[in-house]
Structure 1
């Protein structure tokens, strides 16, 4: 449960929540993580309620429920985030379900109101017949502004670490994102992607193609990775993008159209013919999605009414649930910049 070195994004731990005992394990893990972060006792108590209720509701009402417990960070403080995902019947009336005392089989039901009262920030999306995604954050003190980007990774079934990793940074007026897929899976793949994250966070404030060039040199001592760097620039109305290998990137326009972005063939650290950067239109309200080949491309946000208005965390978790494959590490990164 130890967190990654400061500056790296904490991947967290996924729990499959099927038995009542798992709910207790989720609560203990969240409490332990908060204690490691030196959160105040009163906020640890609030987090304990959130974790117990969220996991308990999955046990009682949901199908194929999972919860991610992880650290969320800003420059001067850290909190704990839980993302609860299920494939149950979903909720047609979220507002009604939030009220205490409401309990309908297949919904989060009783306890949802309690969860939201204790949370510093939350978001929720549910579609009847597809399931529910709930994101809850508990911060120690002042609640920071909502993040403009969020990602999720999940290891191959049977592995304890994921070879996929991501990072987000703001440097000298540039907002940039990295998604990396270490070659293969397991510890060596994870080491390659974590080296890519470290290199990305240390790289100078240069355009995406130059950052990818830096990472290509950085990963020479690892098994290598497919990776891509994106730089949304709303003031210019574009997103700049450069990649090596099979990272999928796309811009989802406010009108629902989807535009794929190009990565060049190669493996960062080992093989590359050239690194090229492309600009794509990025209008107000557009969403940037990047994912590894652990997610299939056959998804359509039109199947999820209202999802485009939700937070990046909830969008990413929904895509991971329905497009992710258990036969590979999976990683997805979502950004929305005003």
Structure 2
């Protein structure tokens, strides 16, 4: 895997899992990533079991199965995460499916017990008729505290690099998110978004509108990007938001209310009007979702019973599966207010 700028949440590698040979490729990719992180041999062995079982389940029991294999980071630690996504029949009884030896034709139940025993952390959501999303993390030692935000990016069909990228940081008490959609597709689009991520991590603790201005100046030598920055201020009960271009931002209230956030027209690095910052109410337990135009806006978490209680990784993967388009790069970022 190509090296990425310091601080970038690694995009990882996607696999379409339809043939038995792909399951072996997933396992080898996970092992190589773990070895590159100098993970202990025992944990590499545990990860190998997780990867083989997760991919094998998709081959045997799922429809349109895909797996993302990527590095995950927390402070000075690094681990490997696998996110398995399918559009199969789903599970009627998740707890029963987790049990060893349980097998129901057309479900993803076989082997889940083995996967979860080796995992440092895991989460799963399944809806009959819609499919299953499984997130599994393997860390070299004790797992760090769960992250408050997570995202996924996926290149359009036929490309290896995604022009979408995201980043998360906590600086001087500020919890901030960036989502960028480089203009076009391929390597040049990816370079623009990676530059935005680099600038985001290097900038001082400034408000979202100021951050967008900083990134606009930095991207002048690239083809440019649509991007947005959000800051979650749980103490004040607001999310501050500023963006340029076609990035969708939504606040999902605990009572089911949904409110869109406004980005201004423009392309960071090339053309913009005045950058404006808006405040939106942010109640305890609210969820903030940001996504590029590689996802359609016609999604509703109410269609997925229990999904709002799952981790940001699983929420993001579910939205990517059902709202993502293969005709464009796709990026989604989810944050939860504690």
Give the whole-Å Cα distance in 1 for the aligned partners of 2:222 and 2:157.
23
Deviation readout 1:291-319 (Å, 9 max, x if unpaired): 00000000111100000000000000000
Match of 1:106 in 2: 106
1:1-338 aligned at under 5 Å gives the runs 1-338=1-338
After superposition, the Cα gap between the structure-2 partners of 1:110 and 1:3, relative to the gap in structure 1 and judged at 3 Å, is: farther
Give the whole-Å Cα distance in 1 for the aligned partners of 2:2 and 2:138.
18
Secondary structure of the structure 2 residue equivalent to 1:219: helix
Give the whole-Å Cα distance in 2 for the aligned partners of 1:137 and 1:150.
13
Give the whole-Å Cα distance in 2 for the aligned partners of 1:205 and 1:85.
36
Give the whole-Å Cα distance in 1 for the aligned partners of 2:275 and 2:241.
10
Deviation readout 1:153-205 (Å, 9 max, x if unpaired): 00010000000000000111111000000000011000000000000001110
Give the whole-Å Cα distance in 1 for the aligned partners of 2:13 and 2:226.
23
Deviation readout 1:219-248 (Å, 9 max, x if unpaired): 000000000000011100000000000000
Give the whole-Å Cα distance in 2 for the aligned partners of 1:240 and 1:106.
44
Deviation readout 1:94-149 (Å, 9 max, x if unpaired): 00000000011222121100000000000000000000000000000121000000
Give the whole-Å Cα distance in 1 for the aligned partners of 2:65 and 2:237.
39
Shift of 1:6: 3.2
Shift of 1:279: 0.3
Give the whole-Å Cα distance in 1 for the aligned partners of 2:75 and 2:329.
29
Contact 1:94 1:126 in 2 (8 A): yes
Give the whole-Å Cα distance in 2 for the aligned partners of 1:119 and 1:126.
19
Give the whole-Å Cα distance in 1 for the aligned partners of 2:294 and 2:76.
33
Q: TM-score by structure 2 length?
A: 0.99
Q: Give unmatched runs, 5+ long, in structure 2.
A: none
Shift of 1:53: 0.1
Give the whole-Å Cα distance in 1 for the aligned partners of 2:14 and 2:90.
21
Q: Give unmatched runs, 5+ long, in structure 1.
A: none
Give the whole-Å Cα distance in 2 for the aligned partners of 1:126 and 1:275.
40
Contact 1:164 1:292 in 2 (8 A): yes
Contact 1:3 1:71 in 2 (8 A): no
Shift of 1:3: 4.2
Give the whole-Å Cα distance in 1 for the aligned partners of 2:9 and 2:248.
21
Shift of 1:277: 0.3
Give the whole-Å Cα distance in 1 for the aligned partners of 2:13 and 2:311.
21
Deviation readout 1:55-104 (Å, 9 max, x if unpaired): 00000000000000000001211000000000000001000000000011
Secondary structure of the structure 1 residue equivalent to 2:212: helix
Cα RMSD, aligned residues only: 0.6
Contact 1:196 1:218 in 2 (8 A): yes
Contact 2:5 2:198 in 1 (8 A): no
Detail structure 1 runs of 4+ shifted over 4 Å in the superposition: none
Secondary structure of the structure 2 residue equivalent to 1:56: helix
Give the whole-Å Cα distance in 2 for the aligned partners of 1:43 and 1:243.
41
